[in-house]
Structure 1
Amino acid sequence: MTVCAIEITTTAPFTIAADGSYAARLAGEGEARYPERWTLTGPEPYAVPLPLAQPEEADSEVLPLADGRVLIHRRVALRHAFALLYPTGGAGSGPRTGQLELGAVEPEGQDVRVTLLPPSPDGYGAFALAAGDAGTTVWRVAGAPFGPEPVARIAGRCSGGVWLDRTGRLLALDRELDGVVKAVAVDLGRGGEVSPLLQIAEGSDDRLLLADPDSGLLLIRSDAPGEQRLGWGVLGSARPVRFPECLRADGAAATPFAVQPGQALMPESCGVALRLGDGGLGLWRPADRHVFRLAGPAGWLGGTGRWTAQGSLHLPYATPEVPCGILGMTLPAPPPPPVRLDPPPAPAARPVPLQQAPLR
């Protein structure tokens, strides 16, 4: 495994499709922005630019679909427009960009913020979150027959967005209500029915950062221990949320961005990748008591990546020498535990258990 000095590109978010087949980002600099699609299958990745006649605004969002098209979200005055971009063959002039307009969403008030949710697990639908003080609406912006359509309405201002299953039906959101943030589960198959998901302490802010549907592993940030800490639990389990001491130093700033899939019934063995507050990379397993801190590749895009079921972490990067690259690495073996010569400390108080998840 070879790594080099880290250089995170935070101005160009990089989004990977749920199945890992494609990725997309807004490439370019200044006023010369354009969508770029990466193909991640095959012997090596390659990028295809998708420019149109006019450059894109820096706040436009892009999201890849499993069929190779790229959804783009643009703000046009007070409206939020959505379209699908795809490469088309141009006779003698190289690839060109086709565009399919999907329609627009007009927020109910000026305080409403519209953002794309993470790629849907089915690979073909796409959703957006319109969050305001009066409530939050989940919109299906791709995959609906007649343009964007509302699929759920939730009281309170919601943020985040984590898929809890492989079908794109159960969505977890962090809902702020009465000054407290709690993660809730929204069932899009039942008209947006809302169920509690995290309730670690009555007055604590409990956010869900990442979930793995195969193992049920949940990555959580909460101030229930008295300060912002990273913790983990298991979906549907009665066991308490645990806040490992090895994650304490990074709890307020680190962000988990990838979990190893395919580890059915083995959440403790899942590899977890963390983007650390200082721009570094952390690798960790719930079964370990150690976080491996590494440098990422130069030009690491968006500080993101994807685990494979075989335990390899793929990190995207772009440099002048390698404009489209993927660095693969594996989680090292944990060091042996130290030998203790003094009596172990008294056990700490157990946190309140994770509530029963709405999976019936």
Structure 2
Amino acid sequence: MTVCAIEMTTTAPFTIAADGSYAARLAGDGEALYAERWTLAGPEPYAVPLPLAQPEEADTELLPLADGRVLIHRRVAERHAFALLYPTGAAAGPRTGELPLGAVCAEEGGDVRVRLLPPSPDGRDAFALAVTGAGTTVWRVAGGAFGPEQVARIPGRCSGGVWLDRVGRLLALDHELDGTTKAVAVDLGRGGEVSPLLQITEASDDRLLLADPDSGLLLIRSDAPGEPRLGWGVLGSSLPVRFPECLRLGDAHPFAVQPGQALMPETSGVALRLPDGRIGLWRPADRQVFRFGAPAGWLGGTGLWSAQGRLHLPYATPEVPCGIVGMSLPPAPPPPVRLDPAPPTPTRPIPLQQAPL
């Protein structure tokens, strides 16, 4: 693999579908912005522009679905409007089709902050988080029968958003209440039932950053060790959360976990965006973070692991407007001897504790 010079992009976020088939971003120059869909499933990636009659605002959000359509979220006055974009393939007329889905509005004139949640694992549905002074609502904004529908209502303010399963039912949110933030699990299949997920100490802020349903690996940021630190745990395990010294990386952020490592969290690869712009690759079984230069034009600090252990990073430069570069972790060390058998991933998450420092 050739490592290019570090050059962080300033473009809008780049979002990859849960199955890695498509991605979407805002492209264009200045105020002339438009949606762009990338196809990633073929032998070579390629981009399809999805322009409309009017340019998009810089805060417009995009989310690709597994069928190739792109969900778009726009702020229109006091409404948050959603629609599906798709290439028409017509020889004449507009190149982009648009299917309006409806809107989410503020309640009784109050302010509402709405953002899309990460792509649902099922590839069909799309969800948004709406936060008001009265609480937090999870909306299904695509995949329902009659436009946006409320699927969960949670007292207090929520942020984050991590899927805990492969069917889009269990959603983890960071829930702020009485000045403390704890990750909770929201069961969308049971009317939005909320249960604790992270409870390291009573007073600590415990946030979930990333989860892999195959292995159960969880990436966590908590101030339980005395300062905000990255740690890892296993969903459903009796082992406590670990805060390795090698993950003492300041504001590093994990953005991808290697899938397909069933019940093997210790050997699952994790990709991190480091504060200096480089990429860190790490496994729980390692005692070090392997550092690599990011490709020029790296898009949004994102990437996608293959089950074979290769990390794919999207980039766009004037010479290569749609490109993917790959990198791999060094060979994994021998798997550690388990002190307790790893149980199957449970249908209900359980609280995690902190390991002794």
Compute the TM-score of the two structures, normalised by the length of structure 2: 0.92
Superposition pairs of residues 1-360 of structure 1, within 5 angstroms: 1-91=1-91, 96-108=95-107, 110-248=110-248, 250=249, 252-333=250-331, 358-359=348-349
Q: Residues of 1 paired with 2:71 and 2:112: CA distance?
A: 21
Aligned to 1:349: none
Q: Residues of 1 paired with 2:168 and 2:162: CA distance?
A: 10
SS of 1:82's partner is strand
For residue 107 of structure 1, report the CA deviation from its aligned partner.
2.2
Q: Residues of 2 paired with 1:281 and 1:313: CA distance?
A: 11
Q: What whole-Å deviation, never above 9, does each CA across 1:110-153 have from its counterpart, x for those lacking one?
A: 44310000000000100000012321000000001100000000
For residue 332 of structure 1, report the CA deviation from its aligned partner.
2.1
SS of 2:246's partner is helix
Residues 107, 130 of structure 1: 8 Å contact kept: no
Q: Residues of 2 paired with 1:256 and 1:359: CA distance?
A: 21
Aligned to 2:353: none
Q: Aligned in 2, Cα 1:77/1:298: closer, same or farther, shift over 3 Å?
A: same
Please tell me the residue identity of whatever aligns with 2:297: G
Q: Residues of 2 paired with 1:334 and 1:187: CA distance?
A: 35
Aligned to 1:345: none
SS of 1:268's partner is helix
**Number of residue pairs matched by the alignment:** 338
Q: Residues of 1 paired with 2:309 and 2:273: CA distance?
A: 18
Q: Aligned in 2, Cα 1:289/1:169: closer, same or farther, shift over 3 Å?
A: same
Q: Residues of 2 paired with 1:166 and 1:320: CA distance?
A: 37
Q: Residues of 1 paired with 2:101 and 2:347: CA distance?
A: 34
Q: Residues of 2 paired with 1:308 and 1:203: CA distance?
A: 38
Q: Residues of 2 paired with 1:92 and 1:197: CA distance?
A: 53
Q: Residues of 2 paired with 1:52 and 1:39: CA distance?
A: 20
Q: Residues of 2 paired with 1:106 and 1:289: CA distance?
A: 49
Residues 285, 333 of structure 2: 8 Å contact kept: no
Residues 208, 221 of structure 2: 8 Å contact kept: yes
SS of 2:201's partner is coil
Q: Aligned in 2, Cα 1:228/1:111: closer, same or farther, shift over 3 Å?
A: farther
Please tell me the residue identity of whatever aligns with 1:101: P
For residue 247 of structure 1, report the CA deviation from its aligned partner.
0.7
Q: What whole-Å deviation, never above 9, does each CA across 1:156-192 have from its counterpart, x for those lacking one?
A: 1000000000000000000000000000000000000
SS of 2:95's partner is strand
Q: Residues of 1 paired with 2:68 and 2:33: CA distance?
A: 20
Q: Residues of 1 paired with 2:349 and 2:297: CA distance?
A: 40
The percentage of counterpart residues that share the same residue type is 82
Residues 259, 306 of structure 2: 8 Å contact kept: yes
For residue 357 of structure 1, report the CA deviation from its aligned partner.
7.8
For residue 293 of structure 1, report the CA deviation from its aligned partner.
1.1
Residues 11, 27 of structure 2: 8 Å contact kept: no
For residue 10 of structure 1, report the CA deviation from its aligned partner.
3.9
Q: Residues of 1 paired with 2:332 and 2:195: CA distance?
A: 38
Residues 197, 357 of structure 1: 8 Å contact kept: no
Q: What whole-Å deviation, never above 9, does each CA across 1:305-327 have from its counterpart, x for those lacking one?
A: 00010001000000000000000
For residue 2 of structure 1, report the CA deviation from its aligned partner.
1.1
Bigger drift between 40-49 and 9-18 goes to: 9-18
SS of 2:330's partner is coil
SS of 2:247's partner is helix
Q: Aligned in 2, Cα 1:306/1:161: closer, same or farther, shift over 3 Å?
A: same
For residue 41 of structure 1, report the CA deviation from its aligned partner.
1.1
SS of 1:89's partner is coil
Q: Residues of 2 paired with 1:281 and 1:106: CA distance?
A: 39
Q: Residues of 2 paired with 1:106 and 1:209: CA distance?
A: 28
For residue 238 of structure 1, report the CA deviation from its aligned partner.
1.2
Residues 236, 357 of structure 1: 8 Å contact kept: no
Please tell me the residue identity of whatever aligns with 1:32: A
Q: Residues of 2 paired with 1:21 and 1:198: CA distance?
A: 32
Q: What whole-Å deviation, never above 9, does each CA across 1:57-100 have from its counterpart, x for those lacking one?
A: 0000000000000000000001000000000122257x700000
